[in-house]
Amino acid sequence: MNIQKEAFGVTKSDKPVTKYILSNDNGMEVHILDYGAIITSIIVPDKDGNLDDIALGYDSIAEYEDNGPSYGAFIGRNSNRIQNASFELNGTVYNLDKNDGNNNLHGGYTGYHKMMYEATTLQDDTSVSIELSRLSPHMEQGFPGNLEVKVIYSLTNDNQLIIKYHAVSDQDTVVNLTNHSYFNLSGHNAGSVLDHKVWIKSDSFTPTDDNLIPTGEIADVTNTPMDFRQLKTLGKDINADYPPLKIAGGYDHNYVLNKETSGIERIAQLIDDKSGRVMDVYTDLPGMQLYSGNFMPTEKGKVGATYQKRYGVCFETQYYPNNINQPSFPSSVLRAGEEFNSTTIYKFS
């Protein structure tokens, strides 16, 4: 196992960016920037041992500073949507960026994937890791509290990418962190992911209104196109005449995970029969957004690739969207002085 680093250009504000390359003994690599704590590449073997990069992304820091689709992004202080870009906490109303119609999405215009991080590399007998940390100051993005936040990416020899999130605030605040990698197990430049098979350990999801804000209802997936309790291709039902899919233009929904404990459990799987690659997803969080890339622009990606709608799929572990305004949902409020700790694992085989 090894950690290397190389220069990855300079930001618009003249900050030099470093790319860290974590590698294990199987040839698997994960590339991560200290700008945005962004995952730029995940290189894994297929059934014949051939290596390919299965994470969508860009070649340059200038493209990552724009990054409309949030390729590989570390999302915070709040992932997903907050209705009307506002919430009330302890009697005070906080107003956020309206960067998704009337709503706040992924923290607003200055998301955590647009920040520079302090980087520390770590290595032991079982993994190589990079820890990326910063202080998110009080009222950054409109959220209360000085939040010390860090994300640790670790690569193990059994091809696990482990993401650990940690945060502490000096005031009550909202913390809902996720990773926004787009996966294509045939290779980032292989085209549509609609033939990939998906399994999700979930009996229900949170339907949304026309602005993709959960209504508060918990809906059973039985006998609907939302049911992934048995492996099926992502494209099988994606164009069904079913209101939640029509509203979102495909899958862009929070699944209520069938968690048996509050610990880390396997909750989803992605399979590509062509390459033989399998990705298992583990988390300790209560929800996961399945996003089928419905709003992906047609644009240039890495190494001359052209990306289009549904060329990648996201598995975003999370607290339910808009939970801060929906008292019946599990809460992402972090109390002053308490520690937020969460783990998500993407395991490749």
User: Residue 88: which residues within 8 A CB-CB, separation 6 or more?
Assistant: 94
Per-position pLDDT tens, the chain of length 349: 999 999 999 999 999 999 999 999 999 999 999 999 999 999 999 999 999 999 999 999 999 999 999 999 999 999 999 999 999 999 999 999 999 999 999 999 999 999 999 999 999 999 999 999 999 999 999 999 999 999 999 999 999 999 999 999 999 999 999 999 999 999 999 999 999 999 999 999 999 999 999 999 999 999 999 999 999 999 999 999 999 999 999 999 999 999 999 999 999 999 999 999 999 999 999 999 999 999 999 999 999 999 999 999 999 999 999 999 999 999 999 999 999 999 999 999 9
Q: Which residues are catalytic?
A: 180, 316
Is 19:39 a contact under the CB 8 Å cutoff? Answer: no
DSSP 272-304: -TTT--EEEEEESSSEEEEE--TT---EE-GGG
How is residue 133 written in tokens? 């940390």
Q: What pLDDT was estimated at residue 265?
A: 98
CB atoms within 10 A of CB 291: 23
User: In angstroms, rounded to a whole number, what is the distance separating the alpha carbons of residues 96 and 111?
Assistant: 12
Is 240:252 a contact under the CB 8 Å cutoff? Answer: no
Full-model pTM: 0.98
Q: What pLDDT was estimated at residue 118?
A: 98
- Closest CA relative to residue 283, chosen from 242, 315, 251: 315
Domains in the chain, CATH or no CATH each: 2-348 (2.70.98.10)
E-strand stretches of 112-146: 118-123, 127-136
| Residue 123 to residues 33, 84, 128, 177, Cα–Cα distance (Å) | 18, 44, 4, 24
Q: What pLDDT was estimated at residue 299?
A: 97
Q: What pLDDT was estimated at residue 58?
A: 98
Is 294:248 a contact under the CB 8 Å cutoff? Answer: yes
Sign of CA dihedral 316, 317, 318, 321: positive
- Closest CA relative to residue 197, chosen from 229, 231, 227: 231
Q: What pLDDT was estimated at residue 315?
A: 98
State the residue for tokens 């990705």: 279
How is residue 111 written in tokens? 């998301």
